[in-house]
Amino acid sequence: MIRIERVRAIMTAPEGIDLVIVKVETSVDGLVGHGCATFTQRPSAVADVVDRYLAPLLAGRDCSRIEDLWRLMTANSYWRGGPVLNNAIGGVDMALWDIAGKRADMPLYRMLGGACRDRVDLYRHADGSTIPAVVERARELVRAGHRYVRCQFGGYGSAGAMTRSADAESSTDSPPIAPGPAAPDDDRVTINPARYMALTVEMLQEVRRALGPEVELLHDIHERVPVGELSRFARKLDEVGLFFLEDPVPPDQSGWLRAIRAASVTPIALGELFTTPEQWLPIIQERLIDFIRVHLSDIGGITPARKLAAICEAYGVRTAWHGPGDCSPFGHAANVHLDFAVPNFGIQEMYEPRPVMRDVFPGMLEATEGAVLPPDGPGLGVDFVEEEARKYPPKLEPPKWTRTRLPDGTLIWP
């Protein structure tokens, strides 16, 4: 039996975004696994759960009993769930799958049933503070081979969108555009939902005109609009023919999906903020969403995500796992392995990493012409150079964009 010897969390920020990596060492010299436990808003809380609670719980146990260990880690706190506990468990879970793949000398997707497709298509973000800038960026992505492009005008909620020169002044208050959480921002940032919706419809129509009918367009509302106004907005977007509209409602307002569905035919992707089955089961069973886009480590890793994918398959819902900048290459790899293995894959979000990431995470999955090919290394297929990671200490400063307000000062509730 191969035992778990040591479990540790390592925080690092090579791109200025705090990442949390979990490293699991085993009784076999050199046999280690890694996982992503990134909760960039509260990284040290996750690291503490890993180091103080999960490490002693797991030491000495059989590393092959992934399902049982997942249940043990989850039941062990008695009160369960939430992004802190789930990320800690999710990071360990990915590391255990990584180890299982290395032992079998197989890439993870082959252990999960093998490839259902030859490549995994990705979407990247075309962001800009003017409509021509968004169109130009979208064109560049298409020229580089992308078939799916997500378009945002002036950041989430369009606070930084410039339509007249007078707007340029206020553009310094612009909220970050993805992978934005690390960008500077403060409480003064406000969003005007009516302006955002009008500008976004105009922007998406422009992009559609410029790129033609074949490119798939996506847009992230990022829970920035009062829920009662979403039906009208979604209906206006119907003529653009979006691939999907992302995260219209916060997790506690899923009841509004029925109204949006009734008003519009635009497909809906939801769930980057979900952490528990109670949040996704009813809306999948009622077919109120077309795509599930949970963040793998936020729901507890690969073990629960496989089950979620299978439930979605039964209801005709496709996957679109969350793949932002605040997700390490281990998290992106876990997404992609599942993307290959599940029949109901929809699309994968993957941000474009900076070159420094290759020094810290050798072998990280890279995209060519808008897609990733089947990874061939065993397990997740990504490595980790701890000494490099230590050169980029975490900032431990929560991003400020969650302080965004409406013009009257009301806090936005994402």
Catalytic residues: 156, 222
> Does the footprint of Mg ion cover residue 220 (CB under 5 A)?
yes
> Does the footprint of ligand GCO cover residue 178 (CB under 6 A)?
yes
223 binds, among Mg ion, ligand GCO, none (CB under 5 to 8 A by kind): none
40 binds, among Mg ion, ligand GCO, none (CB under 5 to 8 A by kind): ligand GCO
State the number of CA atoms in the 13 A half-sphere of 243 facing the CB: 23
* Among 14, 128, 154, 181, contact with ligand GCO (rule: CB under 6 A): 181
Segment near ligand GCO (CB under 6 A); pick from 77-85, 178-186, 233-241, 260-268: 178-186
> Does the footprint of Mg ion cover residue 298 (CB under 5 A)?
no
> Does the footprint of ligand GCO cover residue 14 (CB under 6 A)?
no
Q: Residue 210: in which H helix or E strand, if any? A: helix 193-211
> Does the footprint of ligand GCO cover residue 222 (CB under 6 A)?
yes
Looking at the Cβ atoms of 271 and 378, the one nearer to Mg ion is 271
Nearest to 223 by CA among 174, 186, 265, 268: 268
Q: In what order do the strands lie in the sheet with 4-12?
A: 4-12, 19-26, 32-36
Rounded to whole angstroms, the Cα distance separating 141 from 185 reads 27
236 phi and psi angles, rounded to 5 deg: -65, -30
In the complex, minimum distance from the CB of residue 228 to ligand GCO, in angstroms, rounded to a whole number? 22
Q: Which of residues 172-201 bind Mg ion (CB under 5 A)?
A: none
Segment near Mg ion (CB under 5 A); pick from 80-88, 161-169, 212-220, 302-310: 212-220
| Neighbour-count burial of 323, counting CB atoms closer than 10 A to its CB (0-12 exposed, 13-18 middle, 19+ buried) | buried
Residue type, 374: P
Nearest to 155 by CA among 181, 132, 122, 188: 181
Q: Which of residues 263-282 bind Mg ion (CB under 5 A)?
A: 272
244 phi and psi angles, rounded to 5 deg: -160, 160
Binding site for ligand GCO (CB under 6 A): 40, 178-179, 181, 220, 222, 272, 324, 326, 349
